[in-house]
Amino acid sequence: MSSDPPAGPAGIPADVPVAVVERKRGFSMVWIVPIIAAGIGAWLWWDALQQRGPEITITFSTAESLDAGKTKIQFNGVEVGLVETVTLAPDLSGVVVKARMEHGTDPLLHAGSRFWVVRPRIGLGGVSGLGTLLSGAYIEVEPVPEGAPARTFAGLELPPETPADAPGLKLKLMADNLGSISVGSPVNHHGITVGKVEAYHLADEAEGVEIDVYIDPEYSPRVRAGSRFWNASGIDIAFGAQGIKFAASSLISLLAGGVEFDTPPEGTSTPLAKSGATYHLYADQTASREVFSESFPVAMYFGGSVRGLEIGAPVEFHGIRLGTVVSFALEDKPIDEALTRVVVAIEPERIGRKLGSDETAEQRIQRLVAAGMRARLELGSLLTGALFVDIVLDPGQPATSQGVPGEIEFPTVESTSEMLASLASEAPKLMDDLRRAIGGLADLAVSEDLHLVLGDMRQVTVDMRQALSHIDRVFTSIEALLASQSAMQVRVAAVLDETAGTMRAVRELADMLDRQPEALIKGKSSSGDH
Amino acid sequence: MLTAAQAGLVSCHECGLLSRWSEPPRGGRLRCPRCDSVLHRRKPDSLHRTFALLAAGFLLYIPANVLPVMQVIYAGRGEPDTIMSGVVVLFDTGQPAVAVLVLFASITVPMIKLLGLTWMALSVQRGWRWRVRDRTVFYRLIEFVGRWSMLDIFMISILVALVKLQALSTVEAAPGAVFFASVVVLTMFAAASFDSRIMWDVEEASR
């Protein structure tokens, strides 16, 4: 501002200095306002950056109820993140959810951490996620305590039934058929629920179903290597000598299916089960008990009808079960010599015996057959008409045997019912013979030579004749009874047929209930398949 | 054209009385002989104040729009709404008229104010002489319309006070509302501290 001093006004000496003019400073107090605003903005920005955690990617099969910018990620009820985008996977196999986690959530993000969507769910195990009815779905995270840090996760479709680090036993059951077992079905031991079914899927290698079950830690020592698991779903209806047995494990098992296990006496000394062990899931308790390490097939050929024989029918000796019918089929023969080949599996352990090492199964059977062992079909139940294979020791009976090489075979004999039938067909002839013989006797009695001899025996003869005519009447009535056209026999046969039909229907119902116990409540499913 | 300043006169901002200007002593001020309010030829430090308040307004305009202004919790469920998302929700729920009103009052008006005042302040600083008359009209328009930006804040205040049905439905103000209110207040101050006459001073000085 100060350059050459300007020429002063007249009368004022030129050497009087000019005052320094201070211009008003450019800074005014009002600039504090934007500085404060900038400070607030910077603090907000810094704070937001501080709160910002890592971005993670979760894949789900469906984005149902997931909203970008709204759905939260929670851990034990605390919000730890927010879904930012929901996009389709490039190969359309599912959806990719990108979420921004909050600051300090790294301990939740380890490889193996599980993410699933919490939606309201109503299942037989209970109602869960009711809170989300109002608040909307959220993603729950369940961390694993340690592991490599991860940012990409595969979301679970269903909430895990138990935490990954739960202290109980995790077992795998291999089953032929899932039946009515579902996730959450109980695992019972002596009727007490000790665990539950966590998941199931088709087995990777073998045919069948793989079921993951979890056993609560306090009951884990109950499971041993020799324990046996069976499907306790639904109702067990058994027709036995004691009548009809009706058993259901529990109402929950009835509705939701269930698994039961037990340790047979011979398994009590086996080691405790370890997590990850695999067991077979038997179809029912009986099947779980009838597990035999040894069995060998034996063939037998029957000439008569095998109506009423079923796969699974017992093979018995003196009423003790020895084995099971495995298959039966008509042999390729001319029609007039039709033969049915029945294959049974003989399980020596059923009678507490193992095959000795000194004698093969074939040798033993041959020895027994030589001693008179025969097989025949017997009626197991009058009501159902079910047949079983009865093993008898009857060296006197003529046996039929095919003698196919390389096949262990039981010779067969006619069953008692077949014998009865053939007896009935022979009865009229027998009756004729008897009458002729009696007639001859009567002729003899009236002859002159015998008159004297028999004089004192007349009374005896008269008595005898009376007795004989009585016998004659009896035989006549037997003949009438046995005649195939007899009205009563026809009626009895019809009644028996009808009863057998009814019983078959009941058996089918029982079978269906066994397969689909829920049919009791829901009715028969329209698709025949489960 | 003779201005009051050139004629050595000054008019009172408050009562409009025209009085003779005499240079105040250092640190002293002139007061209106009639209403005793402080007299100055032009609003003091007008450009600086306007620029400062506008800068603060711009800075706070960002959090005001990014942060949620209000959270409507209906039956336990509710997401925070920013101003823009509120407009979108209103539009989606079939109330386009209200949506347009809110959009105008809460987004358009503050933006016009901030940008318009900045443009006018810059024009004075740069000595532009282009369409001074239109700019003066525009300034009046800004000052008039500015108060409508408070519509949103007004609505939030009423809703927060009224909707207190606990579990059923609650409205809560969110931090964005404070920033938004600050922006509106700052732009009002900025408009008030800007003296439209300095635009004419530039025009006069160039003659």
Q: What is the CATH number of the domain that holds B80?
A: 1.20.140
Average pLDDT over residues A53-58: 88
Please give the tally of structural domains in chain B: 2
The tokens for A139 are 């993603």
Q: pLDDT class for A96, splitting at 50, 70, 90? A: very high
User: In chain B, what's the furthest Cα-to-Cα distance?
Assistant: 70
| Structural domain boundaries enclosing B75 | 43-205
Hey, is the C-beta of B76 within 8 angstroms of any chain A C-beta?
yes
Residues of A in contact with B63 (CB under 8 A): 40-41, 44
Contact A167, A271 (CB under 8 A): no
Interface contact flag, A134 B48, Cβ < 8 Å: no
- What pLDDT does A365 receive? 74
Are residues B60 and B13 part of one domain?
Answer: no
Helix axes of B109-126 and B132-145: crossing angle, nearest 10 degrees: 150
Are residues B47 and B35 part of one domain?
Answer: no
Contact A216, A168 (CB under 8 A): yes
Every domain of chain A and the residues it spans: 296-414, 419-484
Hey, is the C-beta of B126 within 8 angstroms of any chain A C-beta?
no
Q: pLDDT class for A8, splitting at 50, 70, 90? A: very low
Q: pLDDT class for B196, splitting at 50, 70, 90? A: confident
> How many CB contacts within 8 angstroms connect chain A with chain B?
51
What average pLDDT is seen over chain A? 77
Contact A292, A347 (CB under 8 A): yes
Contact A232, A249 (CB under 8 A): yes
Are residues B75 and B30 part of one domain?
Answer: no
| 3-class state of residue A443 by DSSP | helix
Q: What is the ipTM of this complex?
A: 0.76
Higher pLDDT residue, A403 or A436?
A: A436
Q: Vertex B192, ends B58 and B41: CA angle to 5°?
A: 130
**Nearest CB partner across the interface for A34, out of B59, B75, B79:** B59
Are residues B127 and B138 part of one domain?
Answer: yes
All residues at 6 or more sequence positions from B171 whose CB lies less than 8 Å from its CB, including other chains: B70, B71, B72, B73, B156, B159, B160, B162, B163
- What pLDDT does A47 receive? 85
Are residues B108 and B198 part of one domain?
Answer: yes
Are residues B159 and B68 part of one domain?
Answer: yes
Are residues B108 and B27 part of one domain?
Answer: no
pTM of the model: 0.48
CA distance A410 to A142: 63
Are residues B197 and B177 part of one domain?
Answer: yes
Contact A173, A219 (CB under 8 A): no
Residues of A in contact with B52 (CB under 8 A): 28, 30-31, 33-34
Strand A138-142 versus strand B169-173 pairing type: unpaired
Hey, is the C-beta of A8 within 8 angstroms of any chain B C-beta?
no
Q: Indicate the range of A116-125, A200-209, A507-516 predicted with least confidence.
A: A116-125
- What pLDDT does B9 receive? 85
